[in-house]
Structure 1
Amino acid sequence: MTNPSAGKSTTRALLIAGIAIGPWFIVVSLLQAMTRPGLDLTKHEVSLLLVGAAGWVQTITFVVTGVLALAFAVGVRRQLHPEKAGTWGPILMAVFGILFIVTGLNHPDPQLGFPAGSPTGVPQIQSTPSNIHSIAFSALALCIVAFCFVFVRKFAADHARSWTISIAASAALIIAFVAFGGALMPTGHGGLPLLGAAIFITGSVSAIALRLEQHQGAQQGTTRLIEQGESAARA
């Protein structure tokens, strides 16, 4: 016979993987930015950390983030399916995870003077890996916007007003930061808006994961009390 508590513990662990996405990606990226000579976050996007001899560190950062997202997608399905957000939520998160891995395995072209000796501007003709990186990043941003609105509907149905407003605002900010940063990149001033986009993309996932994990923890506690009561009754 299956153990309900064990199943809920597994689901909770998968949801915790989602909570880790934002802190993992942002902290590791910022630590690299502070230690990579020549990187200026006011003009360089964090994706440029993929370029150069030490680029493998950021590649691992992207891949681990994608794997965490895939684990979180499983957790979302286990907790919510077939309820509201239990179908499209896991699908969008799984696609996001795959796109994050693809983004990390395809680096942008050296530009804006980084790494040292690179062209001072943005190359007009991008390499194939750079084009794949840009397309995958845009797609994962749209994916998270859709993911946010799936949960805006769920939180609204649950009458969680503050969560509804905050996640809707995060989705709007992601769109604004990506558009603004992309427009400014050729001028050498897109770094901070794109950093803001990265923070809100990964931070929104972590916030939603935290909300789901808290709910899962409450359910797990209730299940444990029921099991203890049944054990006592049998005794």
Structure 2
Amino acid sequence: MTTHDVTVSARGVSTRALLTGGAVAGSLYVVVWLTQAFTREGFDITRHPASLLANGGPGWIQTTNFIVSGLLSIAAAVGLRRALTGRGRVWGPWLVGLYGFGLVLAAGFPADPAAGFPVGTPADYAEISARGMGHFVAGGIGFSGLIGGCLVIAAHYRSIGRRAFARFSAVTGILFFGAFAGLSAGAGSRPTIIAFDIAVVLGWSWLTAVCLDKRRTA
């Protein structure tokens, strides 16, 4: 085996590891989120977005969830930069990385208490603090990255004849945009929060599927 072969082999293992991290990120985030959603006192998954879990005594769990899943998403972006070819090779990974950055940034700016959570917060409490505004900015950055990444990587898959993955990517980006816009305009109504919860699971499922797909040939 030549030195070149060793270098290529090491690079391949590293890329696969990065993409594995990206594939794990979604499952980790969703499991930690849902476990808290159904065990934290006063939390109602149909009324409270996941970000509110960063409040209260156990809030560090969701904060850590944001950081770990965000860092794994950034790792996925690096792996995708190496694994993608042709159209989407540059902007797709950068946008996925922006999604990861938004998650990490959200950890530093926790959402304000709202809608009766955590317990003791008035049901009509909706005050927005400086940290709350920071959380909105972080969400805007991260979700824009995810939406853009879906659409750019859809173009990549379309260019290589992978129509099913192209459609999956495009539909995920479009639906996530719609759910995020609905959440922003819906002032926390149950339908918009439920739609956004579903979109979050879909977005993570998309990232997992793309990472696993590219990992097969990395």
TM, length-normalised to structure 1: 0.85
What displacement does 1:155 show? 0.6
Matched, 1:7 2:11: yes
Matched, 1:45 2:49: yes
1:186 to 1:16, Cα distance in 2 relative to 1, 3 A: closer
CA contact (8 A) 1:121 1:188 kept: no
Greater radius of gyration (CA): 1
What displacement does 1:187 show? 4.1
2:212 to 210, 221, 234: 210
Structure 1 residues not aligned, in runs of 5+: 217-235
What displacement does 1:179 show? 1.7
Structure 2 residues not aligned, in runs of 5+: none
CA contact (8 A) 1:73 1:94 kept: yes
1:21 to 22, 25, 28: 25
CA contact (8 A) 2:98 2:141 kept: no
Match of 1:108 in 2: 111
CA contact (8 A) 1:46 1:191 kept: no
Matched, 1:58 2:62: yes
- Single out whichever of 198-207 and 151-160 deviates more from structure 2: 198-207
How many percent of aligned residue pairs carry the same amino acid?
A: 30
Match of 2:35 in 1: 31
- Single out whichever of 189-198 and 110-119 deviates more from structure 2: 189-198
Matched, 1:164 2:175: no
How big is each residue's C-alpha offset from its partner over 1:80-122, in whole Å with a ceiling of 9 and x where there is no partner? 36x3222112221222211110112211111111111102124
**Aligned-partner SS, 1:37:** coil
- Single out whichever of 112-121 and 57-66 deviates more from structure 2: 112-121
Partners of 1:180 and 1:92 in 2: how far apart?
Answer: 22
How big is each residue's C-alpha offset from its partner over 1:152-209, in whole Å with a ceiling of 9 and x where there is no partner? 1111111111111111111111011112223333445543122123212322221211
Partners of 1:179 and 1:78 in 2: how far apart?
Answer: 32
TM, length-normalised to structure 2: 0.92
Match of 1:191 in 2: 193
Number of positions where the alignment pairs a residue of Structure 1 with one of Structure 2: 214
CA contact (8 A) 1:182 1:194 kept: no
What displacement does 1:142 show? 1.4
Partners of 1:189 and 1:162 in 2: how far apart?
Answer: 29
Partners of 1:187 and 1:120 in 2: how far apart?
Answer: 13
- What RMSD in Å do the two structures reach over aligned CA positions? 1.6
Partners of 1:153 and 1:188 in 2: how far apart?
Answer: 34
CA contact (8 A) 2:115 2:121 kept: yes
Listed as ranges, the matches of 1:81-96 within 5 Å are 83-96=86-99
Partners of 1:190 and 1:104 in 2: how far apart?
Answer: 23
1:122 to 1:181, Cα distance in 2 relative to 1, 3 A: farther
Residue type matched to 2:10 in 1? A
1:91 to 1:117, Cα distance in 2 relative to 1, 3 A: same
Partners of 1:70 and 1:187 in 2: how far apart?
Answer: 31
Match of 2:100 in 1: 97
Partners of 1:186 and 1:121 in 2: how far apart?
Answer: 11
**Aligned-partner SS, 1:35:** coil
Partners of 2:62 and 2:203 in 1: how far apart?
Answer: 17
